[in-house]
Amino acid sequence: MVHQIAERLYAVGVADPDRRTFHGHEMSTAQGTTYNAYLVVDDKETVLADTVYEPFTDRLLANIREVVDPASITTIVANHSEPDHTGALAAVKAAAPKARILCSKRGTESIRGWHHQDWPLQAVATGDTLDTGTMTLTFIMAAMCHWPDSMMVHVGSPDVLLSNDAFGQHYTAAMFDDEATDGRLWFETEKYFVNIISPYCRNVAARLDELEQIALPIRMIAPSHGAVWRKGAADVLAAYRRYAEQRTEPRAVVCYDTMYESTRLMAKAVCRGLDEAGVPHTMHHLPTSDRSDVLTDLFGARGFLIGSSVWHMNVLPTVATLLDDLRTLRFKNRLVGAFGSYGWQKRNVEIIETRAAEAGLEVPLPGVLCQWKPQAETLAACTALGRSFGEKVKAPS
C-alpha cells in the first residue's frame, strides 16, 4: 500500500508480516518486517530511495505505478546494498532505464559485488546535494549503521531523514510511530539495535555527532524497516544516543541451561539473593527462550548471572552461544557472575568466567559450583552470590 508521508514524498515499500527470522535464521522477527522505499516526486527529479527484498519486486513496482510511471524515475538512491534493500534494484533499473544510481563510495563496491551489472554508479559524500525542483536532498554517510556502505538522505522541507537501517525496527503493526498501540514499538527498536547495530556503538555515536554537526532540521525519520517516526524523531535520536553509549540500568538478568534441574535450582536460589538485594531481575531458560529477545533484555542490564551444567568438558551449547554473542555484540560495562552444577569435571564456571573476561566484561565475584545435586548449603551460597552481585549491580558504574 502506498502512503503519502509528506508533500511530494511517498512510502512505496512493502510489508512482509509472515517473516519469522531475519539475516537467514540469525534474528527472530515476531511480527515480520517491512522493506520501506520512498519516492520523491518533484518538478526536476523523480527519486526512488531504496528498493525491497527481491521476492517483493512486483509489489514495489505496482506501488510505484500508483504514483508515477517507473520510467519517469530519474535517480535511484541505494542507501545500503544489503539485499533486503537492493533486491529489486535490477528490476527497477530495467523499468527506469534513464535513472542513474547514487550510492556511497563503499556502495559502489558492494552493489557491484551483489549485482554484477555494468551500471554507472555515482558515489556521493556527506553534504552533497541533489536539487529535485522544489526540494533539496542532502546525502549523509552513515558507515556502520549498519555496513560500511550505509548512508542516509535528508529530504529538505519537509525535513524527513530517510535513514535506511538506522532507527528502524522489524515491526509491521503501524505505519507511523504515533499509530503504534501494541506497546512493542520501543522494544522492537531496541531489539533491532541490539541484534544488528550494537557491535558498532562507537561508530553510531560518531555518526550521531556528525548528524548534529550537519544541523539539518529533522521533523520525521523514515527508516527502511518498520514505522516512520512522525512524532518521535527526537525521541529515537535520544534513544540511539543512549544505546550507543551502552548505558545500563541497575538490574540483573539470570540466564541458564540445565541438564537434570540442578543448575535450575541454583538459578532460582541466585534470584532469591537478587530479591534480597532489592535488584530487579529477569530469568531466562536459554533453550526455551528467544535468543534475540534475551540479548535485548541483557543489553540494558548492568549485571548478568550465567549458569550452565557441564557438557562434554564445556558449557551447554546455548550458554556457549550466549557467551559468543556477548563477545560478538561487544557488550561493555557489564558485570558477570557464574554458577552451575557438574558431575565429573568442574569446567563450567571457569569457562563462563574466562569467556566473559575475554569479552571485556567484569567478573567481580567468584562463582558457585555444585557437584551433582545442590543441597541447602550450596543453595545458600547461590543466594549469597545473588545478594552480593545485586549490591555490585546497584553501585554506581
Which residues are known to be catalytic? 23, 80, 82, 84, 146, 165, 192, 225
Candidate segments 79-87, 235-243, 304-312, 318-326, binder of ligand FEO by CB under 6 A: 79-87
Using CB under 6 A, which residues numbered 215 to 244 contact ligand FEO?
A: 224-225
Counting contacts by CB under 6 A, is residue 297 touching ligand FEO?
Answer: no
| Phi, psi torsion values for 165, nearest 5 degrees | -65, -35
CB distance 193 to 29 below 8 Å: no
Counting contacts by CB under 6 A, is residue 149 touching ligand FEO?
Answer: no
Counting contacts by CB under 6 A, is residue 50 touching ligand FEO?
Answer: no
Q: Given phi > 0 = left and psi -120 to 50 = alpha, else beta, which region is 12? A: alpha
Site string for ligand FEO, 309-348 (x = CB under 6 A): ----------------------------------------
Taking the least distance from each CB to ligand FEO, the nearer of 10 and 35 is: 35
Candidate segments 76-84, 87-95, 286-294, 340-348, binder of ligand FEO by CB under 6 A: 76-84
Counting contacts by CB under 6 A, is residue 190 touching ligand FEO?
Answer: no
Counting contacts by CB under 6 A, is residue 191 touching ligand FEO?
Answer: no
Of the residues 59, 146, 191, 251, which one makes contact with ligand FEO according to CB under 6 A: 146
Give the span between the Cα atoms of 357 and 152, in whole angstroms: 36
Residue 185's Cβ-side half-sphere holds a number of Cα atoms within 13 Å equal to 19
Counting contacts by CB under 6 A, is residue 42 touching ligand FEO?
Answer: no
Taking the least distance from each CB to ligand FEO, the nearer of 35 and 119 is: 35
Of the residues 16, 42, 82, 257, which one makes contact with ligand FEO according to CB under 6 A: 82
Counting contacts by CB under 6 A, is residue 207 touching ligand FEO?
Answer: no
What is the sign of the dihedral through the CA atoms of 276, 279, 282 and 286? Answer: negative
Counting contacts by CB under 6 A, is residue 85 touching ligand FEO?
Answer: yes
Give the span between the Cα atoms of 169 and 271, in whole angstroms: 32
Shortest reach from residue 246's CB to ligand FEO, in Å: 21
Shortest reach from residue 84's CB to ligand FEO, in Å: 4
Pick from 81, 288, 52, 295: nearest CA to 192: 295
Which residues of the chain form contacts with ligand FEO (CB under 6 A)? 80, 82, 84-85, 146-147, 165, 224-225
